[in-house]
């Protein structure tokens, strides 16, 4: 039995299982009930946690943009999100004419579910995780695909051309940015030799952000795009397509998309800390698992904060820029990094195995760092010309003194055959 103070989650799980076993239930049923209860607690917990996230996002956003942020309801405006939630509960569901009822109502649920399903495999501490699937990383990618589906469903079922156009645009962006995202996920898998998320955390004696910085950067950028936040918030271009795929939703259904959005931002930060920052690892986390939870939350909060800084400080990309960044920059660099890392890591593995473990780790880190630097150098050299080329003709007229009269327009000469 784990100690309560060092491992409260493990203690509670054990206590609950022992309680049910004490009632004389068979082992299989106990496990089933434990999974159901665990899933329920995780989902409810994450949804309540979302209230805090909304507050944090608005407050940080306010500070970044030199505003106050919410500051009326409760201390520091902490209860503002609760007030908003209650308000949105009381709103009427407006179901437009001609919508496809079932699909229309299913889409917001799917968009939240696609995010919460990710929580099932995230290792919060060494002992506390939903299920350490042996295909954990693939699971992350697969579940991420459900979010695309929910957007398509929302856009199509709304019976509104702007919603449909918004859905097209959103899905085009999501599918495109899935490519570099998945390729960058390959590197932690390759370096740790496992797709289990807990194994990946365990393998990070040196966090993978050091040994695979390119992959980390690409994961960070493309995860912002996957989330559809600024500078990649093209899917809600108010001026062009009203508001995007969710334009026909109201009340709580509209709120669901936003719950999914806020939660997704935090979940992605959590995944980043698991995959590249060593998750729950830190001094003493093996003996005292609750410390691991603290480390993980600190790392996640840093990544979340960085994501928010990016969101609130950068302007929106144009759609062609957005596609160029993906297909001409991120995808080739990610592919190059995967190939170079695979080659170098395999080629030097035998040599490093003959040295002492500590020296081996240091040398491997240095070699991989140099490899990443080489990839980046080659990439910038090759892509310099592509990226600096002007993609678009300058539309504005040449600057000229305001007071000077324009030269008179040349008389239009009648062309042959034209009857005047």
Partner 1 sequence: MILQILFIIIAVVTLVSAIFVVTAHKLMHAALWLVLALFGVAVLFAFLEASFFAVVQVLVYIGAIAILVIFAVMLTRRVMDDSGPQLIKGWWVALVGVGALFVGLLAALGTWVGFQAGPGPSPDPALLTQLGSDLVDPTKYAIPFEVASILLLAALVGAIYIAADKKGGKE
The SS3 call for residue 409 is coil
Instruction: Out of 44, 141, 298, 378, point to the residue binding partner 1 (CB under 8 A).
Output: 141
Integer-rounded Cα Rg, in Å, for the chain is: 26
Please report whether residue 153 would count as binding partner 1 according to CB under 8 A: yes
The SS3 call for residue 84 is helix
**Dihedral sign (CA 88, 93, 97, 103):** positive
What does the buried/exposed string (b/e) look like for 281-300 if buried means 16 or more CB atoms within 10 Å of the residue's CB? beeebeebbbbbbebbeebb
Please report whether residue 171 would count as binding partner 1 according to CB under 8 A: yes
Instruction: Out of 148, 233, 261, 345, point to the residue binding partner 1 (CB under 8 A).
Output: 148
Please report whether residue 209 would count as binding partner 1 according to CB under 8 A: no
**Residues 291/284, Cβ–Cβ less than 8 Å:** yes
Whole-angstrom Cα distance, residue 113 to residue 116?
A: 5
Please report whether residue 168 would count as binding partner 1 according to CB under 8 A: yes
Binding span for partner 1 by CB under 8 A among 57-65, 149-157, 218-226, 363-371: 149-157
| CB proximity list for 172: less than 8 A, separation 6 or greater | none
Instruction: Out of 34, 39, 83, 133, point to the residue binding partner 1 (CB under 8 A).
Output: 133
Phi then psi dihedrals of residue 39, to 5 deg: -60, -40
Binding span for partner 1 by CB under 8 A among 134-142, 206-214, 235-243, 290-298: 134-142
Please report whether residue 56 would count as binding partner 1 according to CB under 8 A: no
Please report whether residue 159 would count as binding partner 1 according to CB under 8 A: yes
Q: How far is the CB of 210 from partner 1 (least distance, A)?
A: 26
Please report whether residue 291 would count as binding partner 1 according to CB under 8 A: no
Instruction: Out of 143, 163, 183, 296, point to the residue binding partner 1 (CB under 8 A).
Output: 143
Question: Which is nearer to partner 1, 42 or 342 (by Cβ)?
Answer: 342
Whole-angstrom Cα distance, residue 334 to residue 376?
A: 10
Please report whether residue 120 would count as binding partner 1 according to CB under 8 A: no
Question: Which is nearer to partner 1, 13 or 133 (by Cβ)?
Answer: 133
**Residues 260/114, Cβ–Cβ less than 8 Å:** yes
Query: Counting beta carbons within 10 angstroms of the beta carbon of residue 22, is it exposed (0 to 12), middle (13 to 18) or buried (19 or more)?
Result: exposed
| CB proximity list for 253: less than 8 A, separation 6 or greater | 93, 105, 108
Question: Which is nearer to partner 1, 14 or 159 (by Cβ)?
Answer: 159
Please report whether residue 103 would count as binding partner 1 according to CB under 8 A: yes
Instruction: Out of 175, 298, 351, 370, point to the residue binding partner 1 (CB under 8 A).
Output: 175
Binding mask 30-49 toward partner 1 (x if CB under 8 A, else -) reads: --x-----------------
Residues found near partner 1 in the complex (CB under 8 A): 28-29, 32, 100, 103, 133-135, 138-139, 141-146, 148-149, 152-153, 156, 159, 164, 168, 171, 175, 195
């Amino acid at each position: 039995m784990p100690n309560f103070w060092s491992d409260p989650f493990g203690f509670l799980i054990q206590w609950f299982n022992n309680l049910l076993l004490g009632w004389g239930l068979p082992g299989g049923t106990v496990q089933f009930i434990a999974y159901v209860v665990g899933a329920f607690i995780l989902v409810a917990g994450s949804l309540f946690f979302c209230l805090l996230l909304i507050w944090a996002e608005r407050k940080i956003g306010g500070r970044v943009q030199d505003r106050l942020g919410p500051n009326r309801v409760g201390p520091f405006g902490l209860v503002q999100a609760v007030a908003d939630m209650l308000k949105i509960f009381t709103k009427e569901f407006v179901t437009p004419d001609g919508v496809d009822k079932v699909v229309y109502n299913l889409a917001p649920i799917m968009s939240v579910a696609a995010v919460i399903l990710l929580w099932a495999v995230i290792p919060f501490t060494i002992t506390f995780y939903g299920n350490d699937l042996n295909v954990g990383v693939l699971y992350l990618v697969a579940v991420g695909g459900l979010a695309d589906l929910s957007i398509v469903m929302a856009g199509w079922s709304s019976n509104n051309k702007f919603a449909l156009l918004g859905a097209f645009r959103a899905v085009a962006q999501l599918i495109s940015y899935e490519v570099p995202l998945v390729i960058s996920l390959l590197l932690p898998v390759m370096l740790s030799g496992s797709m289990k998320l807990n194994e990946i955390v365990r393998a990070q004696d040196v966090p993978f952000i050091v040994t695979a910085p390119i992959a980390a950067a690409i994961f960070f950028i493309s995860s912002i795009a996957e989330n559809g936040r600024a500078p990649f918030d093209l899917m809600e271009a108010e001026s062009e397509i009203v508001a995007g795929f969710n334009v026909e939703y109201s009340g709580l259904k509209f709120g669901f998309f936003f719950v999914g959005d806020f939660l997704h931002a935090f979940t992605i930060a959590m995944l980043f800390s698991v995959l590249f920052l060593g998750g729950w690892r830190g001094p003493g986390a093996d003996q005292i698992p609750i410390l691991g939870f603290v480390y993980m939350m600190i790392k996640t909060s840093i990544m979340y904060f960085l994501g928010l800084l990016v969101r609130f400080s950068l302007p929106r990309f144009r759609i062609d820029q957005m596609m160029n960044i993906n297909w001409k920059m991120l995808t080739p660099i990610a592919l190059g990094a995967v190939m170079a890392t695979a080659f170098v890591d395999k080629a030097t593995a035998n040599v490093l195995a003959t040295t002492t473990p500590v020296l081996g780790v240091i040398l491997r880190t240095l070699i991989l760092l140099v490899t990443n630097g080489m990839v980046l150098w080659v990439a910038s050299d090759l892509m310099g010309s592509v990226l600096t080329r002007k993609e678009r003709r300058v539309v504005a007229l040449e600057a000229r003194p305001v007071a000077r009269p324009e030269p008179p327009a040349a008389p239009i000469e009648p062309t042959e055959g034209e009857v005047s």
